[in-house]
Amino acid sequence: MRALLQRVTEATVTVDGQTVGRIGPGLLILVCAMPDDDAARAEALAAKIAKLRIFRDAAGKMNLALPDTGGAALVVSQFTLAADTSRGNRPGFSGAAPPALGQALYDHFADHLASLGLPVERGVFGAEMQVALVNDGPVTIWLEN
């Protein structure tokens, strides 16, 4: 699975003019399942993110993980993280998992994050979404397992 993490002071996701997910301080997590991914990879990625120390401590150093801060996660499916730009000027997305597998792993990933004690909000898989965020730092990290 692939994930792009953005440390945020706030983030929202809107579908058809309706806000479907909103968080204050925490992580916006854009996630993409790949064809060879499975539930174990989704759980491993969620566990890694939950333990990743990218939040400031009292001394201003990146030394705290999301659970230490009381922050939340906003998880948004993003098949475009599988973009192949090696040929031409139009990206290809055939490297992303098929929709049924992608949705199952997206849901499993978000559910596993929640099972780790994190407040989790979600986008809507496969929907046209508008995502708004205030990147904190800015801190943006790419993860792949």
Positions marked active-site = 78-80
113 to 16, 24, 84, 131: CA distances (angstroms):
26, 17, 28, 20
Both structure tokens of 112: 């596993």
Find out whether 16 and 60 touch, Cβ atoms under 8 Å.
Answer: no
- Strand, coil or helix: what is 75? strand
